[in-house]
Amino acid sequence: MSELVREIVEVNAAIGGDEENPVLTVETEGLAPTTGWNNVRLDPHVYITPPEDGFQDFDLVGDRPADAAGDTLTEVEAAWEGPLHDWVIGVRIHAVDNMFEEEVFEPWDEDDTHEDDANEEDDESEAA
């Protein structure tokens, strides 16, 4: 049976694809409480109504080995990729001991902003 890993260490979230078909990619590193965990993955929460804060929640889960003994923290990694909902502004990853939040930005919005700033500067220099 799957359960949450112990701790989140790092989260990276990015948007790829294009404006018509944006793709959300989430990668995370964490610590499992023992060695031998398998099927480590990010399970997205499913919403009937989008959350007001705009964060897509995920659980970092895996399958604990049946013969797990000791308390040796072990590094684990997981990734998830899927369609980007228009309400998502960030991701939140949950573990037993902590959670991480990471905002995501659409790469085409950043380019549009820089182009708009450059056009405003050109307009100002032409007016002077």
Model confidence pLDDT, tens digit, residues 43-92 = 999 999 999 999 999 999 999 888 766 678 889 999 999 999 999 999 99
Compute the average pLDDT of residues 99-105.
91
Q: Which 3-state string (H, E, C) describes 27-71?
A: EEEEEECCCCCEEEEEEECCCCCCCCCCEEEEEEEEECCCCCCCC
Pairwise pLDDT comparison (109 vs 53), residue with the higher score: 53
Is the pLDDT at 10 greater than 90, yes or no? yes
What gap in Å lies between CA 120 and CA 105, rounded to an integer? Answer: 23
Instruction: Write down the pTM of the prediction.
Output: 0.79
Is the pLDDT at 124 greater than 70, yes or no? no
